[in-house]
Chain A
């Protein structure tokens, strides 16, 4: 299976070709079999390769396909790398991807008010794009050089663009203001971007990051003369000694790409708007897989980051700052998907904090568990949306637990995992990160634990408002119903994974096995002069673990207290801190800030160039101006042409006489 790993990419490509070219002819039912089937087959190939690699002890195998570009000393093959790291990603992408495909076969069927089901208008287009995404993501994680990673990097960006803008003709939507009680002015919310605009925003913001990534790749090539992982990493230490400043530059430039793709400060702004896409897309691309590409990239390039401690620290600080910042915004969001979106940004921040302090395995661990529980939460949110005819505002929900039991239970499980409730998957992965962060910097840890508390709070705030209490919109409530089997199936499987995903990395200090530590060991490079690994005492580890548990439970309880026991408290609190509340509700006005600082000046400059410089100065003054000048000069000369043939003849004679006299009198 290892040598056939190219099938994992080829199968989704085959699926997208079939569905893209013949989707309308073969019918939607066939489409909804082909698309998930291809991903399932890819998953099975991945599983086969997984066991083979286990058997080899994690040794990496390159599968060369063809030579892509050769120019002089620049030579890049299309070649796939099968090693523990890429296989981890392959399994997550195809595994979660398969579940989401199955889910989408039901999700993309809308039921109308009379209970009739209708396929989405462009059913086959949706699955074509979804398969395209799977293939692109696999190129990203399987490529065995930086150029292929960059190729995948761009391709997932375009799949994301296509899928966010899938409902491209939907307009921008206004949001109902948040009411803060009778005698306070409600907080008005910005309208939501249209899907088309959101997709574009995502693509462009991603491309800004990609500039950094591309420059990093260029610098890698100028430094190493190759882009192959297995040629760069072994030489990194030697190069770093010869040219100490280059590796940090490379690491920093590549990280700029990760900032864009993985929605970190300051380029996170596209991710919340990406929620305009269909919910399976949000679950697959904007929670489970694509946005974690930056983490994957850093783990892949771990030696480069280990050799650039300053950059790594910056990664950790940016990660933790993002985690904290996004969590504060999530506290007050009223749109269920956006709560989850900011929580994704926040959790990605954790992962970066982990890889920033050198805890690469912990970062990957959280990546995997996060893929399980966040996909679960998004799919749960989608199930709710489906039941409520696309209503996503939690203020119009309430009491849904009686109407949709499976969605409710699985959402709880996802919420517990996200909050880091003891023994759930998120608990172990988050705790491992926090323990490593504590070792590196207690200040960062403090923000981390604060974020953990907020995470627990906002997650359960959403759960309590949406699923518990009394229905707020009776019409919607009456029509709500449990979703169909493909949806509940995906939810159930992911729920099991969200509970037991933690088994991949149990705490080592308790003497429990940590599968990922051993599994990922072959891809992690040791620095030659690495300090003796420093272990915290059992007591300290235990203390951190207990703190995490207490904070998680405390956050959940606070949400219970606020939204179930004393619902007046949050409103009073918001009223008394109205300006702070409004600041959070408006997402710190960051979008508006970027608009004023970059977009509008850019457009104004462009307009000035087009109307002023181009039309007036260059074209009119210089180009047409030259023509006019010559024309005017010609106009003066043409006065000599008075139209009388006689005068022309006279001029000729005089000319001839002058010439003849010149010859005679010379």
Chain B
């Protein structure tokens, strides 16, 4: 079935997803949304892996995807925990309020 959809479509979709994610990370102020955008970028990469895995008929890509998913899960767990703490600390979810490392 996938044979009918050319690889370039997947890559294009993945690129669009990645760009949206990147844009979100850069533009949005809400930390939760930034985090979601990071997830989206990661999933764009996952999509590329899967597509290539199918196209090249190799499972390596799929294994990578599992790894990334695991990392993403960890990231969410740690990231959200941090976020909750940050929110408690600063009473805000605005990313620009978290600037204690300012030089």
A contact residues vs B (CB 8 Å cutoff): 635, 637-646, 649-650, 653
Contact = CB atoms under 8 A, between A and B. Distances in A.
B5 interface: no
A639 B29 CA distance: 22
Nearest to B97: A643
B55 interface: no
Contact of A646 (B26, B100, B101, B103): B26
A458 B98 CA distance: 94
Contact of B26 (A635, A641, A642, A650): A650
B9 to A, nearest CB: 22
B102 A645 contact: no
Contacts of A637: 103
Contacts of A642: 99, 102-103
Contacts of A645: 34, 95-96, 98
Contacts of B29: 646
Nearest to A648: B101
Interface in B41-81: none
Interface of B: 22, 25-27, 29, 34, 95-96, 98-103
Q: Which 4 A-B pairs have CB atoms at the shortest separation, nearest pair first?
A: A638-B103, A643-B99, A643-B102, A641-B103
A643 B102 CA distance: 4
A646 B95 CA distance: 8
A640 B26 contact: no
Contacts of B26: 646, 649-650, 653
A630 to B, nearest CB: 15
The prevalent SS among residues of A at the interface is: helix
A364 to B, nearest CB: 84
A151 B99 CA distance: 71
Contacts of B101: 641, 643
Given A644-B99, A645-B34, 6 more contacts: A635-B103, A637-B103, A638-B103, A641-B103, A646-B26, A646-B96
Nearest to B103: A638
A347 B96 CA distance: 93
Nearest to B22: A653
Nearest to A642: B102
A170 B26 CA distance: 82
16 contacts: A635-B103, A639-B103, A640-B103, A642-B99, A642-B103, A643-B98, A643-B100, A643-B102, A643-B103, A644-B95, A646-B26, A646-B27, A646-B29, A646-B95, A646-B96, A649-B26
A645 B29 CA distance: 9
A644 B28 CA distance: 12
A649 B25 contact: yes
A612 to B, nearest CB: 36
Nearest to A646: B26
A637 B98 CA distance: 20
Nearest to A640: B103
A655 to B, nearest CB: 13
A139 B100 CA distance: 74
Contacts of A635: 103
Contacts of B100: 643
A641 B25 contact: no
Contacts of A646: 25-27, 29, 95-96
Given A649-B25, A650-B26, A644 B103 contact: no
A658 to B, nearest CB: 15
A639 B25 CA distance: 22
Contacts of A653: 22, 26
Nearest to B31: A645
Contacts of A644: 95-96, 99
Nearest to B95: A645
A635 B98 CA distance: 20
Contacts of B95: 644-646
A195 B39 CA distance: 85
A493 B40 CA distance: 113
A662 B101 CA distance: 31
